[in-house]
Amino acid sequence: MSNPTTSKANKTAISPTREENYPEWYQQVVRAADLAETSPVRGCMVIKPWGYAIWENIQRVMDKMFKDTGHKNAYFPLFIPMSYLEKEAQHVEGFAKECAVVTHSKLEAGPDGKLIPASPLEEPLIVRPTSETIIGESFSRWIQSYRDLPLLINQWANVVRMEMRTRLFLRTTEFLWQEGHTAHATQEEAMEESLRMLGVYADFAINYMAMPVLQGEKTESERFPGADRTFCIEAMMQDKKALQAGTSHFLGQNFSKSSNIKFLDADGQEKFAWTTSWGTSTRLIGGLIMTHSDDDGLIIPPRLAPTHVVIIPVLHKEESRTQVLDYCEKLKKDLRNINFAGRLLEVEIDARDLRGGDKMWHWIKRGAPMILEIGPRDIAENSVFLTRRDKSVKEKSAQKRTEFLATVAKQLQEMQDNLLNRALAFREANTVKIDTKEDFYKFFEGENSGFAYAHWNGSAEVEEKIKADLKVTIRCIPFDGDKEPGKCVITGEPSKQRVYFAKSY
């Protein structure tokens, strides 16, 4: 990545720009921010330290939310016996097409000295694509009585789906995720849980990722394999496509019947439990990148930033070197005592032996929220020279040291709010009520997207048609919004409410 300050004024740090080639811009942001890279294992990525630190922050915040709502973490086997996948008809259909199958338990030297698989397993094992069936087996033993319910479990784990076309964070063969699995005595409680956890996801997306999301239900054809109902949060990326950022499933009694999860109720009757599952993954990082980043690289919402403030000491002159570094260390120490959104500020001094401009662009591309340049002149004036990543790179401000320390947490929250508001305004500007088929087809012409808020007759045929014609799907039937009836934008048939249509990741 060349240093844009050395080139003409309007050059950006990322090439191509979003405008020029959005998918390639995305790859270049991931690379320039040093978040992740492809690996020699087809479809698997390496998550590099800066990317993984964002995931750690996501985990830390979400994990607390799960615990605050009564869930406990546990860990279940990576492998699932092949026969388990057969238990639930929809489930096997949904996952059999893309799973990693372990068939041997050893390697030995073949005739040419090269290794070959040996010791075939009696029953092949599947690397978990999701854990409903294997967790169901445990639940069937853990649950005996209504007193054992609700059972509220979460797992942080890796899962594998042998996807053909992959893209860093957005769709990878192996990904990291959390999967909640709960069992309840009644349908009502299970439904409440599904919706509660969707609410937790929405809260996290909005208040930590600064990513506005729609909450709603998937249509039957977009449901999780084996679920009675699937709820989701959907966000709009800067190319106006939708990203499904989290799903929560009401599984009814489908999995409790296939896994035999029964309990003796207070009324003395033996009943099948009602179960739910819900998940989010490293895909969230893809959403974070595509919601906020610009043509100079990544922008990280301050609440999830691995480092809040980077200090670049200006070390042009040897005689002021010690003074500048001492001042920076002292400032770092003061900043490290300041609380922002539930944790102490993370601060890094970049004293590498590189040109100041190179260091500045290094951190801009990585999306550090605040960058301070501090040299002898700033020290003399007792001030800091601040670049905020939510503003133009050229817009810098000098702030008195004491003033900065007193307001840094407030300024970070302002940035957080700015990012959310900007994303919200973008989504609103690109969401359109559409009432005719002609307008609908025009809206999604070529590579165009956006959210079309339109009526739908409830049929899978319409979904198939627009998918084939336009690559458009119904993203969700929203909980909010007007519920007045109308006519299907495609067929003119009666519709109960508008739904959101878009192209998607």
Please tell me the distance from the alpha carbon of residue 279 to that of residue 314, in angstroms, as a whole number. 46
Which parts of 378-437 interact with its own copies (CB under 8 A)?
Answer: none
C-beta closer to its own copies: residue 102 or 264: 102
C-beta closer to its own copies: residue 77 or 199: 77
Name the β-bridge partners of 106: 118
Q: Indicate which single residue of 96, 264, 341, 351 sits in contact with its own copies (rule: CB under 8 A).
A: 96
Please tell me the distance from the alpha carbon of residue 43 to that of residue 78, in angstroms, as a whole number. 19
**Count of beta carbons in the 10 Å neighbourhood of residue 113:** 6
C-beta closer to its own copies: residue 216 or 286: 286
CA angle in degrees (0–180, nearest 5) for 166-460-132: 55
Q: Indicate which single residue of 11, 17, 24, 81 sits in contact with its own copies (rule: CB under 8 A).
A: 81
CA 228 vs CA 38, 157, 217: distances in Å: 36, 24, 11
Task: For residue 102, state whether it binds its own copies (rule: CB under 8 A).
Answer: yes
Task: For residue 289, state whether it binds its own copies (rule: CB under 8 A).
Answer: no
CB of 346 to its own copies, least distance (A): 11
Task: For residue 1, state whether it binds its own copies (rule: CB under 8 A).
Answer: no
Task: For residue 76, state whether it binds its own copies (rule: CB under 8 A).
Answer: yes
Tell which residue, 264, 298, 297, 214, has the closest CA to residue 474: 214
Which parts of 305-344 interact with its own copies (CB under 8 A)?
Answer: none
319 SS3 class: helix
Task: For residue 97, state whether it binds its own copies (rule: CB under 8 A).
Answer: yes
Task: For residue 40, state whether it binds its own copies (rule: CB under 8 A).
Answer: yes
Which parts of 208-237 interact with its own copies (CB under 8 A)?
Answer: none
As a whole number of angstroms, the longest Cα–Cα distance in the chain is 85
Long-range contacts for 140-148 (Cβ within 8 Å, ≥24 apart)? 140/259, 140/260, 140/261, 140/262, 143/183, 143/261, 143/262, 143/263, 143/273, 144/263, 144/264, 145/263, 145/264, 146/185, 146/263, 146/264, 146/265, 146/266, 148/263
C-beta closer to its own copies: residue 178 or 387: 178
Task: For residue 138, state whether it binds its own copies (rule: CB under 8 A).
Answer: yes
C-beta closer to its own copies: residue 23 or 117: 117
Tell which residue, 130, 361, 423, 400, has the closest CA to residue 255: 130
With contacts defined by CB under 8 A, name the span among 38-46, 388-396, 467-475, 491-499 that binds its own copies.
38-46
CB of 96 to its own copies, least distance (A): 4
Residues that bind its own copies (CB under 8 A): 37, 39-41, 44-49, 52-53, 55-56, 72-86, 92, 96-108, 114-115, 117, 124-127, 134, 137-138, 153, 157-158, 160, 162, 174, 176
